[in-house]
Structure 1
Amino acid sequence: MSMLVRFHIPMVLFAAWLILAGCGSEGEGDRRLSRDGDTRPTVGVSLPGDGQKWHAGVHWWAEQAMAEHSEVDWLVQRAEHASEQAAQIDDMLKQGIDALIILALDEDTSLASVRHATDVDVYVVSVDRALHEPIADLFVTGDHAAFGRVSAEFIVQQLDFQGRVVILRGGPTAGDRMRYEAAMEVFGAHPGIEVLDTLPGEGDREQSAEAMRTALAEHDTIGAVWAGDDEMALGVEEAVLAAGRADEMLILGGGGMSQIVGRVKEQDPLFPATVAYSPAMMAVAVHLAVAEVLYDGDEQAVAAMIPAHLRLDAGDLLGLAEPRPTEQRRLILPVQLITQDNAADYHFPDSVY
């Protein structure tokens, strides 16, 4: 099931904008004409449905960022399946867009559609999940390897280098593989850490609860659960509480879910920390796409709009939004361990994630 949303500004504001634009001189801040000569560019946004909480967070951050750019017409599509997403992108291209922002449902299905977009000079920003071919102009993602390493190091330290750990994996994606391999490298470097089980959580709360019930039945002592995702961590908690074993272990997820960050902030012993993998990366993609279509690749025009908790500065953005690069550029967002000391900086109670 698809959903199509258009964002635009009232004509009176548009007319005022045209007057101001006509009075300006060339230079910083000039609006860039779109491909067909229209002064109002259109940006397509292709997203998964909000079945996963993190994806719902992506939608929320996209809406916050798009609201800051009323000078752009936004064409937003959500898809439940990869083939539906590819068809939606093809439809956007027929309608006419100047840039495309995509969070792909898988690495392959939408490749032909994205390639077509670049062939007709549409600027493409890919977010979170890498396409199997680096055909996007810009790829915005988080550092999955650092995520796995930082979270595992925290667990090792909390267990004082001696303890038993259960691992839940998210699913068959490159990001999950990088997180898991980095975490296992850390655990393997400490002989006092025993990994009891690696179980499938699949990024789902119910599946994670079921997997954790299996682990609890098989192991009488567990010091920590590396859940790799905040939604899976909540499933783990459900099983642990039902078994009456909450005093025995800590749970470490990741992603920066508002509910979990709030509990870290309140010093909940089950959740002493989490790891930021913020859906706000979608806001970065939105702002940089606007920099390309409106400001001729001048990312400094939007630098102040980047969410502060992502810990990016103007220097991190240099050159990322320049039109038509010779190869895909990458912006890998730094990973932050969220503890009681800094949780307030990552807590967004109004967010759906």
Structure 2
Amino acid sequence: MKRFTLGLSAGVLALAALMTSPARAADPVTLGVSIPTADHGFTGGIVWWANEAKKDLEKAHPGLKIIVKTAANAPEQANQLQDLVTVNKINALVIFPYESASLTQPVAQVKKKGVYVTVVDRGLTDTSAQDAYVAGDNTAFGKLPAEYIAKKLNGKGNIVALRGIPTTLDNERFDAFSGVLKAHPDIKILDAKYANWNRDDAFKVTQDYLTRFKNIDAIWAADDDMAVGVLKAIDQAKRTDIKIVFGGAGSKGMVKTILDDSNKLIQADVSYSPKFIYDAVKLTAEARLKGEALPATTIIPSVLITKENAKQFYFPNSPF
């Protein structure tokens, strides 16, 4: 009888807790947003959309406070995470890591302190350090350009590639890109170097490629900012062998180039909008205000952009 009574008491307590749990919806949420500084067009878009999320969501939810911090490198971002926990007392975090490996442990330490963690885009090397992951479709980001280039080259030619920063998402993109080309043995990837999603770095890497390789049919820049540097290097070298430069992320400049047919090397792009930081902040904030969790993974589709559909992806007022 005693055991039954204890069991019943436990059940009553559990039921009472369940009945009172909606009260958590009224609990305040202090959400930290940790992102890289605007060191190129895409991260400029990330910063802009993060601040738009802060403005819109704090207005819509009086119990919500959002703190946006930008970092110029991985060590600075790691230090800011400590400040967000100890000084700002955050109970939720949305982080776009500057790098994957070096930020994994600092983020894990934040999670251990009871902070709900949503990682955006550049994933961590250990997913147990996060509660949720929101990103664009990095597999499609690599796969669609490879399929497009292979078709345009009729399955034969020489390609060089420019990668971003060493991150899980860059690995996903390059693995998808090179995976497609394995089915086209007459297409050779001559080299693939990191250019840090940066115009100047891409210019220098492309100069090196143009010096070393006398025949290049296509360049996968893997980012619209890097594609700008690639085009500048090609123009300076006066190379006429290159048929295609394929960037990525659907910047308004590249989409307008496709619409206007103003550069024969830019014929297509792939969508990957920085707006997903806004979506990640909104999803995380609204879930935490309700005391709920997000799905473990949320993927936002990437789409091939050509002249036929480019109007749908052209946003002239966007910062990117």
Q: TM-score, normalised by structure 2?
A: 0.82
Letter in 1 for 2:307: Q
User: Does 1:93 find its partner at 2:67?
Assistant: no
Larger radius of gyration: 2
The separation in 2 between residues aligned to 1:186 and 1:115, in whole angstroms, is 34
Q: Which has the higher helix share?
A: 2
Offset from partner CA, 1:141-169 (integer Å, 9 cap, x none): 22322221111000111122233222222
Does structure 2 retain, via aligned residues, the 8 Å contact 1:171–1:201?
yes
2:280 paired residue among 285, 288, 309? 285
Tell me the SS of whatever aligns to 1:181.
helix
Q: Which residue number in structure 1 is paired with residue 13 of structure 2?
A: none
The separation in 2 between residues aligned to 1:216 and 1:342, in whole angstroms, is 32
User: Does 1:102 find its partner at 2:90?
Assistant: no
Q: Which residue number in structure 2 is paired with residue 132 of structure 1?
A: 125
2:294 paired residue among 320, 328, 348? 320
Q: Which residue number in structure 2 is paired with residue 240 of structure 1?
A: 234
Alpha-carbon offset, residue 180 of structure 1: 1.8
Q: Which residue number in structure 1 is paired with residue 204 of structure 2?
A: 210
Does structure 2 retain, via aligned residues, the 8 Å contact 1:47–1:79?
yes
How many residue pairs align between the two structures? Answer: 293
Q: Which residue number in structure 1 is paired with residue 317 of structure 2?
A: 350
The separation in 2 between residues aligned to 1:133 and 1:185, in whole angstroms, is 24
User: Does 1:84 find its partner at 2:76?
Assistant: yes
The separation in 2 between residues aligned to 1:345 and 1:30, in whole angstroms, is 43
- % identical aligned pairs: 34
Is 102-111 or 222-231 further displaced after alignment?
Answer: 102-111
The separation in 2 between residues aligned to 1:232 and 1:43, in whole angstroms, is 32
The separation in 1 between residues aligned to 2:29 and 2:190, in whole angstroms, is 54
Alpha-carbon offset, residue 113 of structure 1: 4.3
User: Does 1:47 find its partner at 2:69?
Assistant: no
Letter in 2 for 1:344: K
- 1:140-289 correspondence to structure 2 within 5 Å: 140-245=134-239, 248-268=242-262, 269-289=264-284
Alpha-carbon offset, residue 110 of structure 1: 4.0
Does structure 2 retain, via aligned residues, the 8 Å contact 1:164–1:223?
yes
CA separation of 1:112 and 1:267: change in aligned 2, threshold 3 A: same
The separation in 2 between residues aligned to 1:30 and 1:245, in whole angstroms, is 66
Alpha-carbon offset, residue 176 of structure 1: 2.0
The separation in 2 between residues aligned to 1:201 and 1:66, in whole angstroms, is 31
Letter in 2 for 1:279: P
- 1:334-349 correspondence to structure 2 within 5 Å: 334-349=301-316
User: Does 1:32 find its partner at 2:6?
Assistant: no
Q: Provide structure 2 residue ranges, at least 5 long, that are not aligned to the other structure.
A: 1-18
Alpha-carbon offset, residue 91 of structure 1: 1.7
Alpha-carbon offset, residue 248 of structure 1: 4.1
1:60 paired residue among 37, 48, 68? 48
Offset from partner CA, 1:270-317 (integer Å, 9 cap, x none): 2111112221110111111122122343xxxxxxxxxxxxxxxxxxxx
Is 147-156 or 118-127 further displaced after alignment?
Answer: 118-127
Q: Which residue number in structure 2 is paired with residue 315 of structure 1?
A: none
Q: TM-score, normalised by structure 1?
A: 0.75
CA root-mean-square deviation: 2.5
Alpha-carbon offset, residue 109 of structure 1: 4.0
Alpha-carbon offset, residue 112 of structure 1: 4.7
CA separation of 1:240 and 1:296: change in aligned 2, threshold 3 A: same
